[in-house]
Amino acid sequence: MSTISLAGKTALVTGGGTGIGKAIAVEFAKNGAKVIVNYNASKANAEEVVSEIKALGGEAIALQADLTKEEEVKALVEECVKFGGTIDILVNNAGTLVQRCPIDQMDLSLYNKIMDVNMTSTFLVTKHVIPVMKKTGGRIINMSSVAAHNGGGPGAVIYATSKAAVATFTKGLAKELAPYNILVNAIAPGVITTRFHDQYTSAEARENFKKSIPLGREGAPEEVAGAAMLLATRYGSYITGEMIEVNGGMYMD
């Protein structure tokens, strides 16, 4: 019998309607957690995830919020508590490249949008979940990227910068929240088969990426979800301030 369980836990997964977020939401639900699937624009996708979880016998709800707007984040957290009673696990997964753009062609508006969707959203959701978690402890899992280490691909400097900021935020927050038994960690995915790369990475570039990966393939969202499970369960009870690399050997620290 498996001893891995999230029974009795409530998890908020931001950007949970597609890709890595979806995989994490479903994996958490399979292991007993109540799951809030947050989305901004992908309502149909988020509702499909909820339906999939319910078909598996789990409990889930889809909640919309623009995570770059503080009032919407506050309302989201309130709705999460109404649904689950608390928030035991937060996965700050929401984020995207927005668009590839060289620095000398980037205007301030695009710079701000990239930083907002990746870093500001992580800050705002975390800020408003902390008071809930301080009551009983919890786990915060932030989504960084291999780009935080290598500066990203062409036209992705600010995306990489935002993900490096998430990594640093994770370490500082881990120290700040340790007295409250809130563990804070990050995951840094490499090239994962999701619509992110379908949208932003050419087929040729993806083939070149594979050549640089010792395992010789892209990763699956479910393989990132496995790392999230480690950090969310009792097996991660002495891990904080760390970043787990899920990249097939593309980057080795």
Catalytic residue IDs: 159
Q: Print burial letters for 44-68: b (CB count within 10 Å at least 16), e (below 16).
A: ebbbbbbebbeeeebbbbbbbbbbb
- 209 near 5, Cβ under 8 Å? no
DSSP 219: B
| Beta-carbon contacts of residue 58 (< 8 Å; ≥ 6 apart) | 29, 30, 32, 33, 34, 35
Would you call 252 helix, strand, or coil by DSSP? coil
Chain Cα centroid distance, residue 23: 11
